[in-house]
Structure 1
Amino acid sequence: MAMRMAAAAAVALVAVMGVLAPRAAAQTTPNCAAKLVPCSQYINTTGTPPDTCCGPLKDAVQNDLKCLCDLYATPEIFKAFNISLDAALGLSKRCGLNDTTAACKGGIFQHLINSDQMQKPFSYTVSSRFTLRWWQWQWQQRRSSHSVSRFPRIDELVPGFVIITEPLVHFHMELEAATTVRAPVEVSVLRWLRLQNADDEVSGEQPEKYTGVTSTARLPIPLSVAPELRRAAAETEAERAAQRRRHKSRGYINYKQRETQHGSFKVALKADQLSARRNALACRRHPSRRCGGVLHSLGEAGDGAIRLRRAAHGEGVPPLRGRRHPAVCSVIDSAELCRNTHPDREFVEEADKASMRIYEHLQYLNTNTTLYNAILKAEGESVLLTEEARRAATTLRIDFEKGGIHLPKDKLENANQLNLEIAQLGRKFNENVMNKPGFVDVYPASRIPRNMQRLFKSVSRFNTSKQMNTEKQKGLRIVTESGNLSSALRWISDEKVRKQVYIVGNSEPHENIGVLNELIHARDELAKIMGCKSYAEFAIRPNMAASADVVMSFLEDLSNIVKYKAEEEFKIIQNFKRRTCNEKSANLEPWDEDYFIGMMKSSVYDLDASVIAKYFPLSQCLKGLNVLVESLFGATFHQIPTRDGESWHPDVIKLCLHHPDEGDLGFMYLDLYSRKGKHPGCAHFAVQGGWRLSDSNYQLPIIALVCNFSGACGITARLNHGDVETLFHENISISLVLGLLLMSLKPPSNLFEYYAWDYRVLKTFALDETTGDAIPEKLVKALNASRNMFPATELQRQIFYSIMDLTLFGEQASKPMDTISTVADLRRKHTSWKYAEGTHWHTRFTHLITYGAGYYSYLYARCFATTIWQEVCQEDPLSRSAGSAIRDKFLRFGGSKDPSSLLKDFAGDAIIRNSGSGIIPNIGSLCKEIGL
């Protein structure tokens, strides 16, 4: 890096700090200033400056480094030349100066350490994006007792030292890592600089205005500073320990500070009392903790309690927009994303701890009687006038009561403990699925199709032949995580290998048998405390269905309707296997389903997966999403680069959704490919919800779409058509258009699956990589025909999953349930396929955790989506009128309107029907679609 770049960066630091250079530097200034005169006119120009400019700078580097560093440590000279940082960086680059950064920065930093004059607050624009503000501070109590008489040599500096400036009210610097010399360390200003005048106002500006603004500047630390840093670190740690002891003695819940950086999301859990306020006083009173973190958010929740109390007394109506405060949501969801996707175990572990601690705090909030009583009073006195506000209040009340706030004290404490236990068991279940998948070693490697071998790890063993010769044999290890398991069962022709993979893949993790039993017991106990006969009843009661009996009746009726057609399809598949294997008595096994169904579809309709995939490179599929949102909603997706430290993996892609009239609508991260330790299956994480913070301030949503596609990674990678359907299903751009997450309904996701099968849509983006030709209509018709070959079999599988989920969390007998035999019996009753003895695939079915007693909602959503597609979208799927109807009549309400009313207003009264005390979907459109 050039000398000018180094000097300018140092001056930026000195100018921001407002530090005057020592007297010795001022004496040398005139000579140095004279050397800059030839360059002054080239500061703000482009192109390569002449030698009359660059030459003197190079001479200064070689002959008068100390002088030049002193020059740039003097803000007056810097100001006189009117040199902006960006301009100075550009000049240094054009002059080709690149070897003095460390020396000049080290010298400037040494001046900073030895300076006795700390100036008034000084604002300096580092770039067009960030303005950093530093408040007055005193270095005297941190200064070393000795002074340094010379600048350190380059070989005495610690490279890679980073200062992260965070313009919050209180500053301190993370010092622990700074004690290791010659190692890159990252140091936060938030544990070093101490704000002594915390009560002073800063230009009338509120500190929260700057929250989240971050910039970095690289700065080496001289060796002479290290002892001082170590001393300051020890003092900081002593203060933190003393603060923890004080909190413990006062009965506060001790949240130790946890920092988890996930991409651009930095989560800080501070040790603070739960009633922390949102303003700067919280930081002033607890100087070893940072504002802007989780408990700052919880402080805002405390403010919400105050507003609710006022509302209850008629003093104003709080703008209730959702179930949880947006800041708390962003903390939880960011930690969940990190926990489920980050490749570094240390990040995952810290995110897990952060997530559990904030969950504990939410449990505390959910049992806050002041909030609950305020909501009851407001709801009862009809203070909340709008439908949206009334529904929000009702939802909040239900959430409170699901936590047991209305129970006697002893039962409430028991419910709290059970909720924590349930959360911990759920985490343990998912962690076991991700980290203990099992594996199968296949020898020789030739038993695996050549085009699949790249997906699996090479292994070897030594074989001894009958002639006593020892030879090395190469094989492949199939780790049975979800993506590999699916690919192996779909494409490997060797039945023995498929059997091995199926049995191992559906017998791990074995530990989850016990975890699931504990979870079932804990949920059942919680439900009974809440006055329900089962957890299924407890979970379903607030929803449209209103009763577990209503749902079970719906599922069993649907199972009976589809059973005959599913048995016919089973016989067709079995006969195909007998013809293919030339065995008249061959029976279908559980590991045959995906393989022979796939083979039949390919043979009947001449479908070649590699030919299909050439029309679906990832780059074109993203264009497909763009076509969808532009045609329907007038918005566009475009890919934008991630900043340093923003992405948690190189494969992550960032998209921005933009509307020409409304501006940016939100951001989406795509993490699409399978890797070890990643969340199994597909899911989306709401990193930041879209919220109306005030009449003039709207928080844009940030969402991460996480999938487990197999194959090559990168923007040029190809997707199979099933992956394209998944991408459209999980396409939560509709939520970005809306700005709110539709957590109560899934029909939009199911609706957009149809777009992945419609030729009118596919021809707009599914283009041959080589020729640019659109996908042939004949090929799309073949895909649709293959899709409709075994619709009853697929529907039967989803019915079985739903009934299993409802049964496991239904009424419990006095004797603990044997989940393995229960699931086996349900499979035999509700599907045509055998159960493989010894397997327990349900112990890797993570929907039991996230949708406990709620998996049926997928079938509800499919019925609704089928009706909406046939009634609203099928005639012209890309018409703006269809998009307007979807957005204005369906999406825009989010969770602010009753789902049943929303569906009827959008698609007509026939879309739902009453069943007992609850509501079920009309299955007519679904039956029509699959030929029932």
Structure 2
Amino acid sequence: MRRPAVIVGRMADLAPLALPADDWHTWLEERGRGQLRVAAERVDALRAGPRGDVTLLGTWDEASLALANARAACSLLASVHPDPAVMELAETIETEASAFDTDLHLDAEVHAALASVPVDGLDADARRVLDETLRDFRRAGVDRPAEDRERLRGLDQRLTDLALTFSRNIRDGRRVTRVPAAALAGLPDDFVAAHPADADGTVAISTDYPDTHPFLTFAHDDAARRAVATSFLSLAWPENDVVLAELLRLRHEKATLLGYASWPDLDAEITMIRTGDAIGDFVDRITAAAGPAAERELAVLQERAAADLAGGAVPVDVSSWRYWFEAVRREQYGVDAQTVRRYFDFPRVRDGLLTVTGRLFGLTWTPVPGDEARTWHEDVTTYDVALDGEVLGRIHLDLHPRERKYNHAAQFDLVPGVLDRQLPEGVLVCNFPRGLMDHDDVVTLFHEFGHLLHHVLAGRQRWVRFSGVATERDFVEAPSQMLEEWAWDAAVLRTFAVDADGAPIPADLVAAMRRADEFGKALLARTQMFYAAVSLRLHLERPEDLTARVLELQREHSLLAPLPGTHFHTGFGHLEGYTSAYYTYMWSLVIAKDMFTAFDADDLFAAGPAQRYRDRVLAPGGSRDAVDLVEDLLGRPYDDRAFTRWLAG
């Protein structure tokens, strides 16, 4: 079994990307369009190069790197920059970069140049780059008749515009629900203090996560919860209903023009799962496996709801499940989320996460002063990352909500790392409160930070294609899901989770939290399969009435009752990014549970397993198939036994 050596090079001699002090518009022009010009120059050189020359592959890599640089900067700034003009420019250049990429992969001359590269003498990595690149050209339609290529070019341009519009509508679709001040009963004191009543006696609850999620978890007022949930579950309605319908139609047209039966078949071809049918089988299998336990959990929630609500039981729906979950966990498991959150003050959690991951993976995180980092907003904190004294790259943490900012949680590339050429830089974009955090937020932070670790640790590849989180798309969540385990370990949490008096979180409380978390996991698995079914079925069926079909899928896969008058699909941002592949989260979880068996559950700080995982799974980036990375870690092919045990309790 081939194991990749830890790649070493002169990364310490490289400087991080210089960000501007103020003129972001000019900087973005230079970084975005400037890198596109570099890419075009390298493509021209590739066309002019002698056929059959192995150096053509290096020229292609240089063009790919410049294109990746342009797209990374624009994708990030279109999502986080506070100046709408910079956001708009970023979107414009991102569209230009997408058009450049489309034209490039439909260029028969470029394809012929690459196809002429002799495979004899190429090492394994170079051969992999060549094979995957030629595959990309085929999947783009370079071998199609001229009229088909022209239609594909038009489809890609329109799909890019629609995808940007879909995401923009969600980002800019922030809503506010006015509720009576009395509806704050049950919420933590700091939340109440941060939401004073207006002169009319009402309080504004926005669709930002730090507002909506605590309100749906703690507010006693059922009607107010329903009102807030209705706003949250109708983001970008009705605008995105039309946008999504066209996205689905054009994706299907593109897939069939390329010779595939459906968009999911095209989308899945280069993943671990391989086919659209296999996605459907996986969704159905998990739905069935979780069914009996989910039914039992739902019965507990409904019984608890009936005890409180006058007039008997009502269905537990998407506006109330968090509230009744919290009640059951508090009363039956002895875990009060408001007591728990006393131990999770945001600055301590952030700093604790860095300490934990540094200790685990042998990393050093050095804060970069704001005047040196010069980021896009004062909320952003920046750190240089080193391993054994060698600089690996730089990270930026943008973790609080603000107007028009990307309103979910994700890791964005700023710079893809390439050995001896440029340091990797990644950005964590989240929307956490500035004070006390729910433990769910802590878990989310660990999860997203897993992507950032992957980006930086895999940033010393020789080929940009393999840099960062470049594995199959249905594996990329597995490392992040596995890092969540450290957010549930008492020894880990007690290194940073302390109350206002400095007392660490009690180990018996963490144990109770783990027991409480076990309750509801089957019900939540069914909900995840609802999301996966929406992702798959809308692309397969392209129904005329999207809302009606989504409600049908919810009743089929999720046991939580739908909320009338909501339109989940218009705010489901993964329909733009993951398209038909939301199943990825559960598929990756199967692998994550198995990978975790390589660690000592009684000592999660043990250096040996963590560093083997760092070097064998994270550092190789996309240079090997995910199945081989996991087998190298475990010493055997992965299986679903650990996941099945977890799901069954």
The equivalent position to 1:261 in structure 2, one of 13, 16, 24, is 24
Partner of 2:366: 638
Residues 548 and 531 from structure 1, CA distance in 2 versus in 1: closer, same or farther, beyond 3 angstroms?
A: same
> SS state of the match for residue 266, structure 1?
helix
Q: 478-487 or 728-737, which moves further after superposition? A: 478-487
Whether the aligned pair in 2 keeps the contact of 1:309 and 1:370 (CA below 8 Å) is no
Alignment of 1:39-438 (within 5 A): 261=24, 266-268=27-29, 294-300=33-39, 302-303=41-42, 306-307=45-46, 310=49, 312-314=51-53, 316=55, 318-319=57-58, 325-378=64-117, 381-383=118-120, 385-438=122-175
CA displacement at 1:926 relative to structure 2 = 1.1
Aligned residues: 620
Partner of 2:235: 508
Q: Does 1:707 align with 2:411?
A: no
Partner of 2:282: 554
Residues 837 and 210 from structure 1, CA distance in 2 versus in 1: closer, same or farther, beyond 3 angstroms?
A: closer
Q: Which amino acid aligns with 2:191?
A: M
The equivalent position to 2:624 in structure 1, one of 897, 903, 926, is 897
Alignment of 1:745-784 (within 5 A): 745-771=476-502, 773-784=503-514
Whether the aligned pair in 2 keeps the contact of 1:321 and 1:392 (CA below 8 Å) is no
1:741-793 superposed Cα distances (whole Å, 9 cap, x missing partner): 1232221111101111011222222233423x332111110111111111101
1:892-914 superposed Cα distances (whole Å, 9 cap, x missing partner): 21111122222222224441xxx
Residues 317 and 351 from structure 1, CA distance in 2 versus in 1: closer, same or farther, beyond 3 angstroms?
A: closer
Partner of 2:521: 791
Residues 880 and 214 from structure 1, CA distance in 2 versus in 1: closer, same or farther, beyond 3 angstroms?
A: closer
The equivalent position to 1:927 in structure 2, one of 628, 632, 644, is 644
Partner of 2:443: 725
Partner of 1:529: 257
Distance 1:797 1:211 in 2: 42
> SS state of the match for residue 353, structure 2?
helix
Return 5+ residue gaps in structure 1 as ranges.
1-208, 217-258, 270-291, 461-472, 912-921
CA displacement at 1:607 relative to structure 2 = 2.8
Residues 312 and 671 from structure 1, CA distance in 2 versus in 1: closer, same or farther, beyond 3 angstroms?
A: same
Higher-strand-fraction structure: 1
Distance 2:519 2:310 in 1: 23
1:704-725 superposed Cα distances (whole Å, 9 cap, x missing partner): 100011x3x3xxx332211111
Partner of 2:570: 843
Whether the aligned pair in 2 keeps the contact of 1:617 and 1:719 (CA below 8 Å) is yes
Residues 607 and 844 from structure 1, CA distance in 2 versus in 1: closer, same or farther, beyond 3 angstroms?
A: same
Distance 2:627 2:260 in 1: 24
Sequence identity of aligned pairs in percent?
A: 24
Distance 1:729 1:631 in 2: 17
Whether the aligned pair in 2 keeps the contact of 1:728 and 1:756 (CA below 8 Å) is yes
> SS state of the match for residue 273, structure 2?
coil
Whether the aligned pair in 2 keeps the contact of 1:442 and 1:476 (CA below 8 Å) is yes
The equivalent position to 2:376 in structure 1, one of 648, 656, 660, is 648
The equivalent position to 1:675 in structure 2, one of 399, 402, 409, is 402
CA displacement at 1:859 relative to structure 2 = 1.1
Taking structure 1 as the reference length, what is the TM-score of the superposition? 0.63
Q: 408-417 or 817-826, which moves further after superposition? A: 817-826
Alignment of 1:536-615 (within 5 A): 536-581=264-309, 583-615=311-343
Distance 1:301 1:445 in 2: 61
Whether the aligned pair in 1 keeps the contact of 2:383 and 2:394 (CA below 8 Å) is yes
**Larger-gyration structure (1/2):** 1
Whether the aligned pair in 1 keeps the contact of 2:305 and 2:313 (CA below 8 Å) is no
> SS state of the match for residue 201, structure 2?
strand
CA displacement at 1:795 relative to structure 2 = 1.1
Distance 1:642 1:762 in 2: 29
Partner of 1:440: 177
CA displacement at 1:844 relative to structure 2 = 0.1
Q: Does 1:800 align with 2:563?
A: no
Higher-helix-fraction structure: 2
CA displacement at 1:685 relative to structure 2 = 0.7
Partner of 1:810: 540
Q: Which amino acid aligns with 2:457?
A: V
Return 5+ residue gaps in structure 2 as ranges.
1-13, 460-466
Whether the aligned pair in 2 keeps the contact of 1:686 and 1:703 (CA below 8 Å) is yes
> SS state of the match for residue 590, structure 1?
coil
CA displacement at 1:212 relative to structure 2 = 7.3
Whether the aligned pair in 2 keeps the contact of 1:742 and 1:895 (CA below 8 Å) is yes
Q: Which amino acid aligns with 1:630?
A: G
> SS state of the match for residue 338, structure 1?
helix
Q: Which amino acid aligns with 1:427?
A: L
- Structure with the larger RCO, 1 or 2 (CA within 8 Å, 6+ apart): 2
CA displacement at 1:321 relative to structure 2 = 9.4
Whether the aligned pair in 1 keeps the contact of 2:57 and 2:130 (CA below 8 Å) is no
Whether the aligned pair in 1 keeps the contact of 2:42 and 2:59 (CA below 8 Å) is no
CA displacement at 1:479 relative to structure 2 = 2.5
Q: Which amino acid aligns with 1:702?
A: E
Residues 372 and 617 from structure 1, CA distance in 2 versus in 1: closer, same or farther, beyond 3 angstroms?
A: same
CA displacement at 1:845 relative to structure 2 = 0.4
Q: Which amino acid aligns with 1:536?
A: P
Whether the aligned pair in 2 keeps the contact of 1:876 and 1:882 (CA below 8 Å) is no
CA displacement at 1:332 relative to structure 2 = 1.4
Residues 322 and 581 from structure 1, CA distance in 2 versus in 1: closer, same or farther, beyond 3 angstroms?
A: farther
The equivalent position to 2:586 in structure 1, one of 848, 859, 876, is 859
Residues 371 and 726 from structure 1, CA distance in 2 versus in 1: closer, same or farther, beyond 3 angstroms?
A: same
Whether the aligned pair in 1 keeps the contact of 2:235 and 2:570 (CA below 8 Å) is yes
1:387-416 superposed Cα distances (whole Å, 9 cap, x missing partner): 211111122122223322221111111111
CA displacement at 1:350 relative to structure 2 = 1.8
Residues 433 and 630 from structure 1, CA distance in 2 versus in 1: closer, same or farther, beyond 3 angstroms?
A: closer
Whether the aligned pair in 2 keeps the contact of 1:673 and 1:707 (CA below 8 Å) is yes
Distance 2:62 2:224 in 1: 49
Distance 1:839 1:210 in 2: 49
> SS state of the match for residue 57, structure 2?
coil
CA displacement at 1:300 relative to structure 2 = 4.3
